[in-house]
Amino acid sequence: MLIRADSKFDYVHNSVVGKTLVDERGNRIGKVLDVIGNINEPYLLVNPVSKEVPKGKLYVVLEEKRRNRRGRK
């Protein structure tokens, strides 16, 4: 699925590839596979979780939750 991205964000210095895409409610939409297009009109190539077409604003989760590594000190 292709989603139009914000042209004001710096995709060169802040990689969004591999990050999770969520809707306004925090529901997972998919995973960002690549950023394509030019600087003025970037698009996100997303691997969707479902076939449902997302509506409204979408957000990329830049900080992933870190898993607790048990047994390591």
* pLDDT at residue 30 greater than cutoff 90: yes
What is the residue extent of each domain of the chain?
2-61
Q: What topology is assigned to 2-61 in CATH? A: Thrombin, subunit H (2.40.10)
φ, ψ at 43 (rounded to 5°)? -130, 145
Under DSSP, the state recorded for 41 is S
pLDDT at 52: 86
* pLDDT at residue 49 greater than cutoff 80: yes
Using DSSP's 3-state secondary structure scheme, residue 45 falls into strand
pLDDT at 43: 96
Enter the pTM of the model.
Answer: 0.79
Dump pLDDT digits (tens) for 15-29. Answer: 899 999 999 999 999
Dump pLDDT digits (tens) for 50-73. Answer: 888 888 999 999 876 666 667 665
Average pLDDT over residues 31-51: 94
